[in-house]
Structure 1
Amino acid sequence: MADLQINRRLIMTPGPTLVDPRVSQAMSNQIWGQFDPDFTDIMDQTMALIRKSFSTNNRFSFPIDGSSRAGLEAVIGSIVEPGDDVLIPIIGRFGDLAVELAQRAGGNVHTIETDWGQVLDQDQIIAEIKRLKPKVVAMVHGETSTGRLQPLDRIGKAVRQIGGFLVVDCVASYMGTPVLVDDWQIDAAVGGAQKCLSVPAGITPITFNDRFAEAINQRKRVERGVRSAEDADQEAFITSNYLDLTQLQDYWSPAD
């Protein structure tokens, strides 16, 4: 079989983007086992860099295996339980994706929308938060389909006041504009690799705070010996195994 030949392209799409040569060089290095001491050192360095990139002190800041959609599904699927009220402000295509993910998790989804190319007034969003008192507010910061940046610096405070959780899709804005997770009181944020960061799709940086971690850890996991999800409490069971953040956070916990 002939060697794979890839023709050069100048890519000017929202994503994927051209990969930085330093990334290609790093990816050509030898593979290590996940328990190699040098590999765990790189994991710790990676978590520290992800914290810095999100302007957060969250201990749970790590990459998800998979594209940004996997990161979004991991976060939404871990916090949304069947019957939970979820408010999703929509300013473009990826608000619709959040709706689908929340519905697949069993959430009772409410939306407010504006025309594509526009953003929503934060006062309108906050008024809906106060009216609905949802468990989760999920919204897009940088909307790929329209190129618009949704202001949300006041949303986290409003969500926190009603005891809810703010989940933000920062896939298109991550590393292109500041995402101030702690200052904006964002409970969980999902970044993107294949856009501003200029890395191949397949790894997705996420971060979530301790109150978010406490909420998802209250959901029951299937213990060893339980044969199926039908034997577990369906109201609490996180249906995904691979994207269950209660398991991934253990794997990515900082070394003592």
Structure 2
Amino acid sequence: MLAARDLVKTFPRPDGGTLRAVDGIGFTLHAGTTLGVVGESGSGKSTTARLALALEEADSGTVELHGEPWSGLPERHRRHRRTAIGVVAQDPLSSFDPRWDVGRILHDAVPHDAHPAERDRSARVADLVARVGLDPSVLQRRPLTLSGGQRQRVAIARALAPDPDVVVLDEAVSALDVSVQAQILDLLVDLQQAFGLAYLFISHDLGVISHLSDHVLVMKDGRVVEEGDPVQVFTAPAQPYTRRLVASLRDLGVRPDAPAADRPAAERSSS
């Protein structure tokens, strides 16, 4: 579904130097699977997500969507394909128009070419709300009046509105408390199984990554320092950096391979 090869992205520093935010990243994401990308703040995770979404252009390297070039194209050549890839951000409230209610937000995300009639778009919105476990009454409410978990469900519904194959989730549950976080993770698993979605899941939370991912990349200073099956990576890490990440959780009595619902509240403070 999505493949990256040798991605490099640099940014200018205030002192005139450059920051190599992403340095030679590559990955392959298949249908119905989750690729987890984990690392501390500043490791290059979010820049990798933006490169995958073609919101940033790499200095070198390529991204392919459905086996066809996705990076390095004029936006007019990508626009008709953008429905194939969705995004769920850490703070959905900042990505919603505060003047709009949930109904308008979701209607706006439903492609008119696929659902040209108003009744079809309304039916699609109603189905999305049900799919993410929200009561239809939220359609008349503004996002500011919703709880964090409800807003994230609206963000997921909006990401699904164009019927994408790939969804990029950048710290999508990190702002939620543990009980709500577990519910959202279970929802994501259910949606993936129902629609065969491929997830690129970005997080600094090892427990979340382990719970959701089929394959994991551990990033540090823009590079992948370790990758593999999440159980193997987090129970028997090969690299010193990964061992330090795992040890920092174990020092707090947290198992990074535990299901999200079973992890104690102390883990939120460690994250």
**Which TM-score tier does this pair reach, normalised by the shorter chain?**
0.3 to 0.5
> What's the TM-score once normalised by structure 1's chain length?
0.33
**TM value normalised by structure 2:** 0.31
